[in-house]
């Protein structure tokens, strides 16, 4: 580290603990806290914006748990070191966390271990608190990812969140009815909804929703309903004619954060539907469409999204189309055809 300033982001939903953390970090003049965040999704956004040297990250956060936050920071700010500081002390959670972060400290021991852990991870070392020295985490954490842990609560949450469905349709009216029902169910459940389609499709979905008596104008005003043009949206994800995953996550990050905060209920969600990947397929970019579907799965797991997209069935008639059809199906949690 030398004498250079280390820029730190503190992520914890308990304000008194953030204040205590700042006091502990003040003992090392090289450490400068440049941001404090209390929400998981906001932490991802702030880490991307600030590109900090170190993230002190809690596990239990609103909207997105700390391990999923760490996964996204790995993609959006690769140089940032991640040190988990949490009251969670189960070996399963610690092992899962060490699959994405450089270190783990239990809050109860932070007073005597935090600065030691900070120094270690900034040197490029792994660190686990003294409570876990006999668990052998440092021998296995670098070679075992998140999916190596059995049925921890965090893993179960991710599985519940995974809903990425596709409709293959021969009648566009059926597809538009499906989109309208999808949005209707989301809004009635207190979730937020985003429709990404061309102008004609968006108008048709809106008309169907208004016929059902839904207050779409009010939902839009409260941030629970939004419309995006598919072609314009896809163009923001591309660089030199190819999909840029960082742009995909960045482009949706702020929108999803706002929508998630506007959603209501015990488990607020965001429902997104329309034609992003299908638009690339229609333009002849099969690989681009499949890559968007793959990266969308990361968004689904990370943000707790429900997604419904649709492809015209008659575009898959030739041999190439049948191969692409199978690959697209493989990226979805459910497949519907009519």
* Residue-range domains of the chain with CATH: 6-150 (3.40.50.2300), 162-337 (3.40.50.300)
Residue 91 pLDDT: 86
Q: Which stretches of the chain are DSSP H helices? A: 15-25, 40-50, 66-76, 91-98, 110-122, 137-140, 153-161, 172-188, 199-211, 216-221, 230-235, 245-262, 277-282, 286-303, 319-330
Residue 314 pLDDT: 87
CA distance 65 to 297: 17
Query: Of the segments 87-101, 197-211, 251-265, which one has the largest average pLDDT value?
Result: 197-211
Residue 155 pLDDT: 32
**3-state secondary structure at position 278:** helix
Four-CA torsion 36, 38, 43, 45, nearest 10 degrees: -90
Residue 289 pLDDT: 92
φ/ψ (deg, to 5) at 169: -125, 145
Residue 137 pLDDT: 61
Contact call for residues 83 and 127 (beta carbons, < 8 A): yes
pLDDT band of residue 31 (cuts 50, 70, 90) is very high
Q: pTM for this structure?
A: 0.58
Contact call for residues 293 and 324 (beta carbons, < 8 A): no
Contact call for residues 281 and 263 (beta carbons, < 8 A): no
Residue 142 pLDDT: 35
**pLDDT of 205 above 90:** yes
Residue 141 pLDDT: 33
pLDDT band of residue 316 (cuts 50, 70, 90) is confident
**3-state secondary structure at position 142:** coil
Work out the average pLDDT over 141-169: 46
Contact call for residues 225 and 193 (beta carbons, < 8 A): yes
Contact call for residues 297 and 332 (beta carbons, < 8 A): no
* Among 94-108, 149-163, 287-301, the least confident range: 149-163
Q: For the segment 47-67, what is each residue's pLDDT rounded down to a tens digit? A: 999 999 999 999 989 888 999
**pLDDT of 70 above 90:** yes
Work out the average pLDDT over 302-331: 85
CA distance 90 to 132: 10
Work out whether strand 163-169 and strand 305-312 pair parallel, antiparallel, or are unpaired: parallel
Residue 159 pLDDT: 39
Residue 216 pLDDT: 95
Work out the average pLDDT over 269-290: 91
What tokens does 19 get?
A: 């204040």
* Among 197-211, 241-255, 299-313, the least confident range: 241-255
**pLDDT of 146 above 50:** no
CA distance 202 to 180: 10
**pLDDT of 222 above 60:** yes
**H helix or E strand, kind and range, residue 226:** strand 225-229
The sign of the CA dihedral 207, 209, 211, 216 is negative
More confident residue, 186 or 152: 186
The sign of the CA dihedral 199, 259, 175, 296 is positive
pLDDT band of residue 135 (cuts 50, 70, 90) is low
To 10 degrees, what angle do helices 91-98 and 153-161 make? Answer: 60
pLDDT band of residue 80 (cuts 50, 70, 90) is very high
* Among 111-125, 139-153, 210-224, 263-277, the least confident range: 139-153
Report the share of the chain in percent with pLDDT over 70: 88
Work out the average pLDDT over 231-256: 83
Q: What is the mean pLDDT of the chain?
A: 84
Residue 63 pLDDT: 81
* Cα distance from N-terminal residue to C-terminal residue, the chain: 60
**pLDDT of 239 above 90:** no
Work out the average pLDDT over 15-35: 90
- Residue 153 DSSP label: H
Single out the residue of 98, 107, 152, 154 nearest to residue 131, CA to CA.
107
């Amino acid at each position: 580290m030398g004498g250079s300033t280390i820029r730190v982001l503190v992520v914890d939903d308990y304000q008194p603990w953030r204040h205590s953390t700042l006091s502990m970090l003040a003992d090392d003049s090289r450490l400068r806290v440049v941001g404090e965040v209390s929400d998981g999704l906001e932490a991802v956004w702030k880490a991307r914006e600030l590109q900090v040297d170190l993230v002190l990250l809690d596990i239990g956060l609103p909207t997105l748990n700390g391990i999923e936050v760490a996964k996204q920071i790995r993609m959006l700010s690769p140089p940032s070191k991640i040190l988990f500081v949490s009251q969670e002390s189960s070996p399963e959670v610690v092992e899962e966390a060490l699959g994405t972060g450089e270190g783990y400290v239990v809050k109860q021991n932070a007073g005597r271990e935090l600065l030691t852990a900070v120094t270690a991870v900034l040197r490029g070392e792994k660190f686990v608190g003294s409570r876990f020295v006999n668990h052998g985490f440092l021998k296995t954490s670098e070679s075992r990812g998140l999916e190596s842990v059995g049925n921890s609560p965090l893993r179960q949450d991710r599985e519940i969140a995974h809903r990425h469905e596709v409709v293959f349709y021969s009648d566009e009216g059926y597809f538009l009815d499906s989109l309208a029902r999808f949005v209707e169910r989301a809004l009635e459940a207190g979730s937020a909804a985003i429709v990404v389609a061309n102008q004609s499709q968006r108008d048709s979905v809106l008309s169907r929703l208004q016929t059902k008596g839904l207050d779409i104008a009010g939902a839009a005003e409260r941030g629970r309903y939004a419309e995006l043009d598919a072609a314009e949206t896809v163009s923001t994800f591309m660089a030199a004619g190819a999909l840029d995953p960082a742009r995909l996550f960045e482009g949706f990050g702020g929108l999803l954060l706002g929508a998630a905060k506007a959603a209501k209920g015990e488990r607020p969600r965001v429902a997104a539907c329309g034609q992003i990947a299908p638009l690339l397929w229609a333009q002849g970019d099969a690989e681009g469409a499949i890559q968007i579907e793959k990266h969308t799965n990361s968004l689904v797991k990370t943000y707790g999204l429900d997604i419904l997209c649709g492809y015209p069935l008659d575009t898959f008639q030739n041999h190439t189309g049948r191969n692409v059809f199978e690959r697209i199906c493989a990226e979805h949690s459910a497949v519907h055809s009519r």
